[in-house]
Amino acid sequence: MKLFYSGNSPYARRARIAARASGLAVEEVDASPLAAEDHFLLQHGPGAKVPGLETDAGTYLCETLIITRYLNDLSGGKLLPIDAAAAEAVLELEGVGSLLMDTLFHCSHEKRREAGEQSPAVIAKEDLRANRCYDALDSSLAGQEAALNLGTIAAIAALGYADWRHPEHDWRGGRAGLAAWAEAMMQDQAVAETYPDF
Ligand SMILES: N[C@@H](CCC(=O)N[C@@H](CS)C(=O)NCC(=O)O)C(=O)O
C-alpha cells in the first residue's frame, strides 16, 4: 500500500501514525508540494489532497476518517478496542479530535488571509470552538494512559497542529492534565517522528 502525505499536514499525520500503529506494510510517499494544478495525485481522484491511500488492490481512498478506519479494519482492529463501550469512548474522542482539527485548519486559513479579507466573526467563532474542544480533551484525557487508538491519534495530531499554527491558543494553559498526557504520547516513536517541523 502507498500512503501519500505532506510533511506538516495534520490530516496526513493521523494517517501516518495509524499506518505505523497498524503494523501493516505501508509505504509513505511525500506528495508535496501540493499546489501544482497538474499534481500527480489527480491521476488517482478529484481531490489531490493528503492523505490519500492506494490499497494493494489499487483502490484509491481519500479522507482521513475513511483511511484510518480502513487501516484499522485491515489490521484486524489494532486501532479500536474490541469491547463495545470502550470502542464508543474511542469514537467519541476521535470525533472531538477531528472537530478540533477541522476548526484549527479553518481558523488558521482565515487568519492567514490578507487583513482586509479576514472575517473577525469567523475567527472569533472558531477560536471559541477550539477552546471548547481543548476543554473536552482535557476532561477526557487527563490522567489517561498514552496509548495509540483512532481517538488518541486524532487528538494528538490536532494538538500538534495547534502548537504549530495556533500558539496564541496556549492550549496547555490551565490544562495540566492534557499537557501531561500529550507529553507522554510524544514518547511514542510514530508520534514524535511526525510532529510538525516548524
Ligand atoms: N477532509 C480532508 C482534509 C485533508 C486536507 O485538507 N489536506 C490538506 C493538507 S493539510 C491538503 O491536501 N491540501 C491541499 C489542497 O488544498 O490543495 C481529510 O480529512 O483528509
Which 8-state DSSP code applies to residue 15?
A: H
* Residue 173: per-residue pLDDT: 98
Dig out the grid coordinates for 73 from the structure.
479494519
Q: Do domains 2-74 and 84-193 have the same CATH topology?
A: no
- What is the average per-residue pLDDT within 14-20? 98
Dig out the grid coordinates for 25 from the structure.
506494510
Considering the entire predicted model, what is its pTM?
A: 0.97
State pLDDT tens for residues 147-197: 999 999 999 999 999 999 999 999 999 999 999 999 999 999 999 999 999
Domain boundaries, the chain: 2-74, 84-193
Dig out the grid coordinates for 64 from the structure.
482521513
Residue 39 Cα to chain centre, angstroms: 23
Q: Look at phi and psi of residue 48 and say left if phi exceeds 0, alpha if psi is from -120 to 50, else beta.
A: left
State pLDDT tens for residues 65-113: 999 999 999 999 999 999 999 999 999 999 999 999 999 999 999 999 9
Q: Residue 4 belongs to what H/E stretch? A: strand 2-5
Dig out the grid coordinates for 14 from the structure.
493521523
Mutate which of 4, 16, 44, 49 for ligand 1? The one with the most ligand atoms within 8 Å of its CB, which is 49
Q: What is the CATH number of domain 2-74?
A: 3.40.30.10
* Residue 5: per-residue pLDDT: 98
What is the distance in A from the centroid of ligand 1 to the CA of 52? 9
User: Does position 14 have pLDDT exceeding 90, yes or no?
Assistant: yes
Which 8-state DSSP code applies to residue 54?
A: E
Ligand 1 shell residues, CB under 6 Å: 9, 11, 34, 48-51, 63-64
What is the distance in A from the centroid of ligand 1 to the CA of 123? 20
- Specify the CATH class of 84-193 in words: mainly alpha
What is the distance in A from the centroid of ligand 1 to the CA of 131? 22
- 102 CB-contact burial (10 Å; exposed 0-12 / middle 13-18 / buried 19+): middle
The packing angle between helices 84-111 and 120-141, to 10°, is 150
- What is the average per-residue pLDDT within 143-149? 97
What is the distance in A from the centroid of ligand 1 to the CA of 135? 25
State pLDDT tens for residues 27-67: 999 999 998 889 999 999 999 999 999 999 999 999 999 99
- pLDDT band of residue 4 (cuts 50, 70, 90) is very high
* Residue 36: per-residue pLDDT: 87
User: Does position 146 have pLDDT exceeding 90, yes or no?
Assistant: yes
State pLDDT tens for residues 111-125: 999 999 999 999 999
